[in-house]
Amino acid sequence: MDTPASRFALPLHSAGKAASFPFSYVMSTVPRRWWRSILGGLILTCFLGYFFMPIRRRDPLLPPLYEKYHQKAIDVSKHNYHNSPSAKEAKSSSTELLSSSLGVGWGNFLQEYLLDAFIVHEAGWSNVFSNYTWNKDGQDYSVYKNKNMIPSRIPLTALVAGPLVGGEWPEGDSTPISVVKEYWDKICPEEERLFIDPRQVDDWKLGNLMASDLVARWKKRLDETPGRCVEVDREAFQTGTFWIFGNAEHLLEFWPAYSTSPILTQFRWSPLVESGFMKNYGLISSTKPAVHPYHTIPGLLALHIRRGDYREHCSNLAGGGALFNAFNSFPQFVDKFELPPNRTGELTKEVMNHYLPACLPSIQQIVTKVTEVRKTEAGKGLRNIFIMTNGARDWVTELKEALRETGGWDLISSSRDMQLDWEQKYIAQSVDMLIGERAQVFVGNGFSSLTSNVVMFRMVRGFPPESNRFWIP
């Protein structure tokens, strides 16, 4: 009798032989309507899987989310915190300071983060680091300037390395290691935290404070704070403002202490940034790479030239009577920016004409500056040019041709020529910064925080002051 059970009975083979599933037998015994159901189920599963799988796996053109770097930060924090003697001590007696800045460029974020980390280190506490966050709305991606998709968050471990992100401090430095926020949330639950809103402190008049005074007041406030877990309201407050980073008088008196701190002397870019640099070394230099990752690249001239939104930004700077960023204003520097004479506070054509060569130089002004620099002692032997820029490709091509016409160059390349992988593409500014940091001569935009950070690292690493130049006619 052909019953449902008998239709699925398998043929028995002789004793001692394994039973088998002949494909043709299965095909002939399973009803067609069952095959249609199975096939339909597979198609439905694939269809639903396509639309409910993470979107970044569907479209490789979307930015990376750097998950492995974030997980590594958590793993390193957990391991080092429990295995470092200083961390164990910090767990019961230390104070953690949480800092973050939202919706600001990488250059602004980095200068703020370094200053925060310096304050925490001076106090002898464990620093808490978070992601470089553009948008905190919970979405994985943000749209930059209404056209470009960018990651909403990039783990700091994808950008920098060393003690700032959980590495060990130098020998003899007993400062507790830094920990990532997600791990800090576990060892410092909300009920154990003390929240500080600096706006409630009446005598913190940022416009009147020298950087050393600012650090001293933070240290005193935190020394007097009971408990071991402190969180600062960073969405409402920023430690360093224009009055600090944009004012040479307020910041440079603080330089001797800051420049010798391991916050700067131990600073290192992440392996991802360094690999992007090494991958493109042949584009920027005709010499062999130095063994040390931060030694000078002989013969390299790096130019930082801002375009894009900088025409509007230059107008704002001119209207506000801005000077160069503080770290672009060391008294030893050759190029110094002065306010226009007889300035009335009105944005006139004369005022704009005074600012534009320093803020938004033309191709001819750039060529003239490069020619001048080559004649200096610091510029002897320059053979290669790397242009750090966000300028349009056509404009960059025109600039490269104009520079090449001056003669004597082996290589002229730009940010637009860099070959970067999927992850390196979204941290390209840091790769540019590492190149600028190592150049024999660096010419930058004195109003730019990115230039300011490059110059700061060059000064920490002992580059001659005259090797740092700006777009001053």
Q: Which two tokens stand for residue 92?
A: 């019961």
> Which range is least confidently modeled, 189-193, 347-351, 379-383?
189-193
Query: Would you say 95 and 230 are in contact if contact means Cβ atoms under 8 Å apart?
Result: yes
Residue 302 pairs in a beta bridge with: 386, 442
Q: Which is it for strands 297-305 and 384-389: parallel, antiparallel or unpaired? A: parallel
Over residues 186-215, the pLDDT tens digits come to 888 888 888 877 666 555 555 567 889 888
What confidence category does residue 17 fall into, taking pLDDT thresholds of 50, 70 and 90? very low
Which of 236-250, 278-292, 325-339 comes out lowest in average pLDDT? 236-250
Q: What is the pLDDT of residue 423?
A: 96
Alpha carbon dihedral 276, 281, 282, 285, in 10-degree steps, equals 150
**Class assignment of domain 270-470?**
alpha beta
CA distances from 426 to 37, 106, 147, 421 (A): 46, 11, 15, 9
CA distances from 393 to 250, 414, 426 (A): 39, 10, 18
pLDDT confidence bin for 459, thresholds 50/70/90: very high
Phi, psi of 382 (to 5 degrees): -65, 130
Helix axes 271-279, 428-438, angle to 10 degrees: 70
Q: Answer yes or no: are the C-beta atoms of 330 and 459 closer than 8 Å.
A: yes
Q: What is the DSSP letter of 471?
A: S
Q: Backbone phi, then psi, for 260, in 5-degree steps?
A: -100, 0
Weakest-pLDDT range from 24-28, 220-224, 320-324: 24-28
Decide if 98 contacts 233 (C-beta within 8 A).
Answer: no
Task: Return d(Cα 108, Cα 250) in angstroms, integer.
Answer: 17
pLDDT of res. 57 = 44
Label residues 170-203 b or e (16+ Cβ within 10 Å = b): eeeeebbbbbbbbbbeebbeeeebeebebeeeee
- Would strands 179-180 and 126-129 be described as parallel, antiparallel, or unpaired? parallel
Give me the residue spans of the domains in the chain: 25-58, 67-265, 270-470
pLDDT range class, residue 325, cuts 50, 70, 90: very high
The whole-number pLDDT of residue 56 equals: 42
For 105-135, the pLDDT digits (tens) are 899 889 988 998 998 899 888 888 988 888 7
- Compute the mean pLDDT over every residue in the chain, rounded to the nearest whole number: 83
